Amino acid sequence: MNSMIIGKYVPGDSLIHRLDPRTKLLLMFIYVFIVFLANNEWAYGVLTFFTCALLFLSRIPFSFMIKGLKPVLWVIVFTFLLHVLLTKDGDVVFQWIGIEVYDKAIQQGAFISLRFLLLIVVTTLVTLTTTPIEVTDGMESLLSPLKKWNVPVHELALMMSISLRFIPTLMEETEKIMKAQMARGVDFSSGSLSERMKAMTALLVPLFISAFKRAEELAVAMEVRGYRGGNGRTKWRELTWRRMDTAFMLLLGLLAVLLWLLRS
Amino acid sequence: MRAKDLTFIAMFASLMAIGANITSWAPFLVIGGVPITLQTFFCVLAGAILGAKRGAMAMTVYTLIGLFGAPVFARFSGGFSMVTAPTFGFILSFILAAYVTGLLIEKSTNRSIARFITATIVGMIINYVVGTNWMYMAFKLWAEAPEGFSYTMAWSWMLVPLPKDIILSIVAGVIAPRIYRALNEQQTYNKYVA
C-alpha cells in the first residue's frame, strides 16, 4: 500500500528522470494543448514519433506503461466506439445486423482515440518518472508568482506534502479499525443495505476521529518547532535548472511550430 | 492560516483519497463486482465538518495531488491526463460542493439533523449537475462526439449511480453532526488539559 505515497513512480536514472520537475510539469501542460493542433496523418505521425522518443529516453519498461494506462483505457475504447457507431459520413465499409460503419467514422474515431492515447502516455510518463513530492516542489516554484495575489502557494504545497505523507498511515489505520470492528462482530461483506450502512459508520467514525487526532498532534508539533509560514523558510530539497531543461523546452517549442505548419 | 487549519485540511484530503477507493479493500459497497466510490460522501462531509472555506481547500488539495500523479481518484487513477477525462467535472465539482455544503451549515442557527441532511443533499446535487454538464461538454468539445450524442444521453448514464449517492448523502448528513460533536468534545478536553 506504500505505492500511494510514491505514486506510480518507477525509480531510474534516465534522461527524463533527471530533468527538473518544473520542466516536466511545463512539458505536460504545454503538450496537453499542442496535441489538439494535430488534425491530419502527418501531424499525428510527428506527435507519435515525439511521444515514442520520450518513452524510449525514459527507459520505462513497457509493462509499467501498460499498467499505468489501464484505468483510462476504457475512455479510449469508448471514444472510438462512440465515433464508429454514431458518425454517418463517407462510404459504408461494412454492415451487420442493422449497424452501418462508415470509413470516415473509422478515421475520425482512430484520430480522436490516438489523441487521447498520446495525451495519456505523456502524462503517465511524467508520473512514472517523477515522485509526487518532486512535483509538489515543482508546482510551488512554478506558481510562486501567484503569491502576489495572495494565493497561498506555499501552504498548498505543504498541505499536499502532508496529505501524501498521511495517506498510507490512514490506510493502515482503516485496516486496523476494520479488524477491530470485525472482532466485535461487524460484518463488512454481507447483509442488507441498512446493515452495510451501519458497518460503514462503525468503520468511518473512528477513522475520522483518529485522523483528526493526528492532525491536532501534528499542528502542535509544528507550532512547538516554530512553524510560521513560508516566509524565510529554507528548503531540504532544492531544484536546479540545467542546460538539458532549457534544451527540452526549446524542443517542445519546435514541436509546437511544426504541428502548426502541418495543420490542414 | 494557522498550523492547525493546515494539518486539518491536509488530513481531510488524505481521508478523501482513502474514501475514493475504500470499498476495494473494505467490501461494504460492492455492486456487481465493482467497488463503489465514496467520493461524494467524503466531499460533503468535508464541507460539513471543516466548514465552507477549509472544506473547499481540502478538496483543492485532493484534486491537486491526484493531478500530480498520486493514484487517489476513483479506481486508483491519477495523473494530469485526468484533465481530459470526461469525468473530470465530477472531481472539480467536489470543491464547489464542499463549499456550498459547508456554507449551508455555517449559516444555520440551529444545527439540526434535517439541516445537515439538506446541506449534504444540496452538495450531492451540485456534484451531479456540474459533473454531468462537464461530461457532456467534454464529449462535445474535445472528444468531438458526433451528432447522435445528446444531452439526455449523458444524463441517462448518471441515473445508475444516483440512488446510492442519495442514500450516502443522507447517511453523511446523519453522521456529520456525530463527528462534529466528538471533535468539539475532544478539543474542549484538550483545552482543559492544557
pLDDT, one tens digit per residue, over B28-85 is 777 766 778 899 999 999 999 999 999 999 999 999 988 887 788 887 777 777 887 7
So what's the pLDDT on residue A39? 82
For chain A positions 144-203, those within 8 Å of chain B (CB to CB) are 152, 155-156, 158-160, 162-164, 166-167, 169-171, 174-175, 178, 188-189, 193, 196-197, 199-201, 203
Q: Residue B15's pLDDT band (boundaries 50, 70, 90)? A: very high
> Which grid cell is A180?
477491530
DSSP letter, residue B83: G
Q: Residue A5's pLDDT band (boundaries 50, 70, 90)? A: very low
- Statement: residue A7 has pLDDT above 60: no
B104: Cβ–Cβ under 8 A, 6 or more apart, which residues?
A: B115, B118, B119, B122
Q: Does A106 touch chain B (CB under 8 A)?
A: no
- Closest-CA residue of B relative to A190 is B28
pLDDT in tens, B130-155: 999 998 888 887 766 666 678 888 88
Is the Cβ–Cβ distance between B6 and A218 less than 8 Å? no
Mean pLDDT to the nearest integer, B103-112: 86
Mean pLDDT to the nearest integer, A159-187: 91
Q: Residue A1's pLDDT band (boundaries 50, 70, 90)? A: very low
Indicate yes or no: CB of B148 within 8 angstroms of CB of A204: no
Task: Identify which of B62, B76, B179 has the shortest CB distance to residue A205.
Answer: B179
Q: What is chain A's length? A: 264
So what's the pLDDT on residue B47? 94
pLDDT in tens, B112-123: 889 999 999 999
In three-state secondary structure terms, A11 is coil
In three-state secondary structure terms, B30 is strand
For chain A positions 236-255, those within 8 Å of chain B (CB to CB) are none
So what's the pLDDT on residue B120? 94
> Which grid cell is A20?
527538473
Q: What is chain B's length? A: 194
**Residue (of A99, A44, A78) closest to B157 by Cα position:** A78
Indicate yes or no: CB of B68 within 8 angstroms of CB of A209: no
Chain A environment of B62 (Cβ under 8 Å):
163
So what's the pLDDT on residue B147? 67
Is the Cβ–Cβ distance between B65 and A132 less than 8 Å? yes
Q: Which residue has the higher pLDDT, B78 or A204?
A: A204
* Phi, psi (rounded to 5 degrees) for A92: -75, 125
Chain B environment of A214 (Cβ under 8 Å):
11
Chain-wide mean pLDDT for chain B?
85
So what's the pLDDT on residue A112? 85
Q: Residue A206's pLDDT band (boundaries 50, 70, 90)? A: very high
- Statement: residue B25 has pLDDT above 90: no
Q: Residue B187's pLDDT band (boundaries 50, 70, 90)? A: low
> Which grid cell is A24?
516536466
pTM: 0.84
Is the Cβ–Cβ distance between B139 and B150 less than 8 Å? no
Q: Which residue has the higher pLDDT, B181 or B130?
A: B130
What is the enclosing helix (H) or strand (E) of A102? strand A99-102
So what's the pLDDT on residue A88? 73
Indicate yes or no: CB of A229 within 8 angstroms of CB of B86: no
Chain-wide mean pLDDT for chain A?
85
The b-or-e profile of A38-65 (16+ CB within 10 A means b, else e) is: beeeebbebbeebbeebbeebebeeeeb
Task: Return the residue in A37, A86, A107, A163 with the most chain B beta carbons within 10 A, the one to mutate for interface testing.
Answer: A163
Mean pLDDT to the nearest integer, A137-147: 88
pLDDT in tens, A71-117: 677 778 888 888 887 777 777 777 777 677 777 788 888 888 888 88
Q: Residue B185's pLDDT band (boundaries 50, 70, 90)? A: confident
CATH number belonging to domain B3-178: 1.10.1760.20
DSSP letter, residue B85: S
Is the Cβ–Cβ distance between A28 and A121 less than 8 Å? no
- Statement: residue B194 has pLDDT above 60: no
d(CA B140, CA A80): 14
The H-assigned helical ranges of A87-192 are: 103-129, 132-143, 153-183
Q: Which of A48-57, A189-198, B63-72 is the most confident on average? A: A48-57
Chain A environment of B169 (Cβ under 8 Å):
none
Beta bridge partners of B30: B35
So what's the pLDDT on residue B160? 81
So what's the pLDDT on residue B27? 76
Torsion of CA A42, A44, A49, A53, to 10 degrees: 150
So what's the pLDDT on residue A53? 92
